[in-house]
Amino acid sequence: MIKPSKPDNEEQRLQALQRYQILDTPSERSFEDLVTIATALCGTGMGAVTLIDRDRQWFKARQAVEVSEGSRDVSFCGHAILQPDQVMVVEDASQDPRFHDNPLVVQDPHVRFYAGAPLLSLDGLPLGTLCVFDARPGQLRPEQAKALSALSRQVSLVMELRRYAHEIQQHMRDRAWYEQRLAEYNSLLEQQNADLAEQSRTDPLTGLPNRRAMSAALETAIRDVDGQPRQTAVALLDIDHFKRVNDLYGHATGDHVLAELARLLRAHFAGQGLAARYGGEEFVVLMPDTALATAELQCDFLRMAVADLPLGIPLTISIGVAAHRHGDSVEKTLARADAALYQAKHQGRNRVLRAD
């Protein structure tokens, strides 16, 4: 096992950490939520917000981790803070000379995969990490690494908010100072909430709205401003034989195909609809104020455009389209579009079918 060395600015780093007055404080929902988002995005069973003290790493928030602190000498995060400008990824700790005999690897929790994004103070000093890890070897896709870095910045922002709040409490007698800091606090909080809301509604690979955002948009689109029923069409589309694309050309090519299809959807329905990633290789398109026959025609144009994408590999899609019916739930409309999609695939793929 190779113990992590200490940064050249170690004393300055520790002084910065102490200014946050966060070590050995109770758990807080804002940190726990960020760990939950990080593990969900990266598909791991464990995660934590860790702060590297002089001789220990202490967990401000943790998921599926029993202990609240551990020795810095055996910590993965002690290594991660040595490169504060990048995410440290260990795909299989049992094969890494730094960690193969580490107690965290050979004993509980038997860490194999680790990814840690450093937490930085305002002056760029590494204080700890937002990390995710698992008992199985794994990989971190580029978009996942980017999302983990974004979430680590959110953790640092929450730490700054805590520090501002503490300073505000200490300076409440100075009203002018208090009002200025309170305005800064509210601005930072609004920024954090906006960033988190965007991350919770956006698919990181394609940049399209995700399933949750589309469901909310559909609920709004089926009624006009006066609450009256509105003519709305919904299409579900699926890439034909997408597993074969991944198997033959690799997952990087598969991700490129998804991103290019998302770009085409965004352009095809600009100003007249909303496209979202529904899950895996499935996408959904919302077409307000559109009759079913018109929606079917638009989807057929899309199908032909997909076949002409300059991807270097053959690509087709199948589409099921349905009109929302007054009195039906959003879920029922999506189910009818999904049933039409199933029939399109059953009848040979590369076609558009509409629900009766």
Q: What is the pLDDT of residues 123-149, one digit of tens each?
A: 999 999 999 999 999 999 999 999 999
Condensed to tens digits (0 to 9), the pLDDT of residues 149-177 reads 999 999 999 999 998 888 877 777 676 66
For position 173, what pLDDT does the model report?
66
pLDDT higher than threshold 60 for residue 199: no
**Tell me, what CATH number does 112's domain have?**
3.30.450.40
Higher-scoring residue by pLDDT: 302, 207: 302
Q: What is the pLDDT of residues 100-119, one digit of tens each?
A: 999 999 999 999 999 999 99
Domain annotation covers residue 167: yes
Whether 4 maps to a domain, the answer reads no
pLDDT for the residue 52: 98
Q: Is residue 265 part of a domain?
A: yes
- 281 flagged as catalytic: yes
Q: How many domains does the chain divide into?
A: 2
Annotated active-site residue in 10, 184, 219, 281: 281
Mean pLDDT of 326-339: 88
Mean pLDDT of the chain: 89
Res 274: pLDDT? 84
Does residue 1 form part of some domain?
no
Domain endpoint, select from 166, 201, 236: 201
> SS3 letters for the chain?
CCCCCCCCCHHHHHHHHHHCCCCCCCCCHHHHHHHHHHHHHHCCCEEEEEEECCCEEEEEEEECCCCCEEEHHHCCHHHHCCCCCCCEEECCHHHCCCCCCCHHHHCCCCCCEEEEEEEECCCCCEEEEEEEEECCCCCCCHHHHHHHHHHHHHHHHHHHHHHHHHHHHHCCCCHHHHHHHHHHHHHHHHHHHHHHHHHHHECCCCCCECHHHHHHHHHHHCECCCCCECCEEEEEEEECCHHHHHHHHCHHHHHHHHHHHHHHHHHHCCCCCEEEEEECCEEEEEEECCCHHHHHHHHHHHHHHHHCCCCCCCCCEEEEEEECCCCCCHHHHHHHHHHHHHHHHHCCCCCEEECC
pLDDT given at position 167: 80
- Are 181 and 246 members of one domain? no
Q: What is the pLDDT of residue 209?
A: 84
Give me the mean pLDDT over the 2-27 stretch.
Answer: 94
Specify whether 350 is located in the same domain as 224.
Answer: yes
Segments forming the whole domain that contains residue 133? 10-201
Look at residue 247 and tell me if it is in a domain: yes
Over range 246-254, report the average pLDDT.
91
Res 201 pLDDT > 90: no
Residue that terminates a domain, selected from 174, 201, 228: 201
The pLDDT score that the predictor gives to residue 218 is 75
Q: pLDDT tens across 30-55, in order? A: 999 999 999 999 999 999 999 999 99
Q: Given this model, what pLDDT does residue 165 score?
A: 84
Out of 56-65, 174-183, 243-252, 261-270, the most confident range is 56-65
**Does residue 90 share a domain with residue 124?**
yes
Q: Are residues 324 and 271 in the same domain?
A: yes
Whole-model pTM: value is 0.56
- Whether 42 and 174 map to the same domain: the answer is yes
Residue range 225-243: mean pLDDT, rounded: 83
Asked if 189 and 290 sit in the same domain, the reply is: no
Indicate whether 81 and 195 sit together in one domain: yes
Domain identity same for 332 and 217: yes
Q: Are residues 195 and 231 in the same domain?
A: no
Instruction: Assign residue 224 the CATH number of its domain.
Output: 3.30.70.270
Answer yes or no: is 334 within a domain: yes
pLDDT at residue number 177 = 65
Is 179 domain-assigned? Answer: yes
Q: Is residue 296 part of a domain?
A: yes
Do 21 and 168 fall into the same domain?
Answer: yes
Which of the listed residues 201, 219, 252 is the one where a domain comes to its end? Answer: 201
Query: Is there a single domain that holds both residue 220 and residue 196?
Result: no
Q: Are residues 231 and 309 in the same domain?
A: yes
